Amino acid sequence: MDYIGIRVDQYPFAISCDGKYYKRSGSTLRELQGFELQNFLLERAGKAWDSMPIPGVSVNDLDKEALNAFRRKAVENQRMSESEVDVTGAYVKVAFFAPAGTYGMNSEADIIYKDDIHGPLITQTDKTLEILYTKYFKALISYEKLQRIETYMLSMGVIRELLLNPINHKQYEKGIPIQVSVFEDHVEIFNMGLWPTSIPVDDTLYQKHESIPYNPKIADVFYRAGEIESWGRGFLKIRQECEKIGAPLPIMKKSENGITMNAIACGKYLEILNINKREDSAKVVNEAISLLDGNGDWIVDDDGASIIVETLRKPSKEEKEWRERIAKAYEYMLEVCSVKLNEREKKKIYPIVEHFKRHDEIDRTTAQMVCGKSATTISYLNKLISIGVLKKEKSSVATIYKIADYKKSKMDKN
């Protein structure tokens, strides 16, 4: 008897017939259904049931207690190390350091206060920025005429890029957190990371260069979230921000332990800071004095002009208190005027307000002089009275305008 034999090799994956799967058992052929079909397909795919994801399950559905128990038992039984069961150091440490003696007996190395920023990496940048600009960075106040201006050490754009770089490129396997050290006039950000040898650390760093992320997967997440670029533009953006605010480019220091970025405050901030320091530390008064001889006559030079010398003297307690009172009153006047005067009024009245930077009263004649002999000077003085920064007192000679009692006044900003 002649016959034809057909040999079919076993396929590594399942093949359906008209959308159905069959299995031969002895001389019979039966359709696979239900769990039997599911297990058959998994077996052909080289997978097990417990390796398949469960649809609809999120991280929030996981039991934290069970995960912690697994970590603890795995380490206790020496089946896994601590570094394998947990990622340590994946957070940001922030600390504030003050000049020696600012807080009693503190040294420059003493931490005045500190915070740790934990949570998902994608949220750590925003959390760190928020706490820096609400707790650590001090906005120095200045005025352009009567316009109040707040100046921070560095712009948020600079700090954001300086934080995004270490968060994306840090060596998380070493377990050392990112460290942000805030000082009076600069910020240092330390990152336990490796710097690519092909990218220089001089000023060319702030030009366009290739992107070589140490953590490609983390960098990809931040790129898709719109936090970073994929072609190494982070330092270029830092340069643009520094040019915008007048700050020097941050200096990179590379060592065996990691990378430190030293960002110095912008010029405007340092200028205001130094002015405030000089005013706070002023312990002497500079005066010009004409010299007298023993008979009480002026000592003159060959041209008949009085000889004047500059002297330094310590102010009295009363004079110090008067100067402090004037300074506080002047600050109060600026604050009120910046809110309650329109732009035209600010421009016209500003010379009168500036007079009170070193005086506690003014008369109409002096006001006309500082305003340029303006006929409407009296209306400017009345305006300052109406907003609560001046009060009018009459003397036997003329009407005097004095600084109002700012301690009792309440500024209505509405």
For 129, the token pair is: 């920025």
Q: What is the mean pLDDT of the chain?
A: 79
Q: Quote the CA–CA distance of 380 and 365 in Å, as a whole number.
A: 13
pTM reported for the whole predicted model: 0.55
Sorting pLDDT into bands at 50, 70 and 90, what band is 353?
A: confident
Q: Quote the CA–CA distance of 37 and 203 in Å, as a whole number.
A: 64
φ, ψ (nearest 5 deg) of residue 295: -90, 0
Name all domains of the chain by residue range, CATH numbers in brackets: 1-51 (no CATH), 53-86 (no CATH), 92-272 (3.30.565.60), 285-314 (no CATH), 318-403 (1.10.10)
How deeply is 381 buried, as exposed, middle or buried, from its count of CB atoms within 10 A (0-12, 13-18, 19+)?
A: buried
Q: Taking residues 9-33, what's their average pLDDT? A: 74
Helices 343-355/377-386 angle, 10° precision: 90
The amino acid at residue 30 is: R
> Which of the two residues, 404 and 91, has the higher pLDDT score?
91
Whether residue 390 has pLDDT greater than 80: yes
Q: What is the pLDDT of residue 293?
A: 54
Query: How large a percentage of the chain has pLDDT more than 70?
Result: 79
Alpha helices in 195-233 (DSSP H): 216-224
> Which of the two residues, 54 and 387, has the higher pLDDT score?
387
Over the stretch 326-339, which tens digit does the pLDDT of each residue have?
888 888 888 888 88
For 155, the token pair is: 């712009």
> Which of the two residues, 151 and 280, has the higher pLDDT score?
151
Q: What angle do CA 141, 146, 152 make, to 5 degrees?
A: 20
Of 92-101, 128-137, 145-154, which range is least confident?
A: 145-154
Q: Taking residues 268-289, what's their average pLDDT? A: 66
